[in-house]
Amino acid sequence: MSSNKDIIVKGIKFLGAALPLMLLGPVVLTIGFKALRDDNYIWISLGIILSFSAIILAFLGVKTILNGFFNTKK
């Protein structure tokens, strides 16, 4: 049972892209909740989008890494 290194590296890149979004999403959400006093919804919507993007990229990264380890093809 061998692993495909190219697919594993692709999954690590997905996780590398998700990491900054995991840190940035909650920060922007906090700024958005503080900006609600001024009826400014741009920051909170941006924070929600960043958080969902981080979740999706992390899921795709883990899924891609597991596909690389177990050599499953779609």
Predicted pLDDT at 37: 87
Examine residue 15 and state whether it is found in any structural domain, yes or no: yes
pLDDT-based confidence at 73, cuts 50/70/90? low
Examine residue 39 and state whether it is found in any structural domain, yes or no: yes
Phi/psi region, residue 8 (left: phi>0; alpha: psi -120 to 50; beta: rest), is alpha
Range of the domain at 41: 5-69
Examine residue 74 and state whether it is found in any structural domain, yes or no: no
pLDDT-based confidence at 72, cuts 50/70/90? low
Per-residue pLDDT reduced to its tens digit, 4-58: 889 999 999 999 999 999 999 999 999 999 988 888 899 999 999 999 999 999 9
Examine residue 23 and state whether it is found in any structural domain, yes or no: yes
Q: d(Cα 2, Cα 48) in Å, to the nearest integer? A: 39
- Looking at the structure of the chain, the number of domains it has is 1
Q: Given a cut of 90, is residue 63 above it in pLDDT?
A: yes
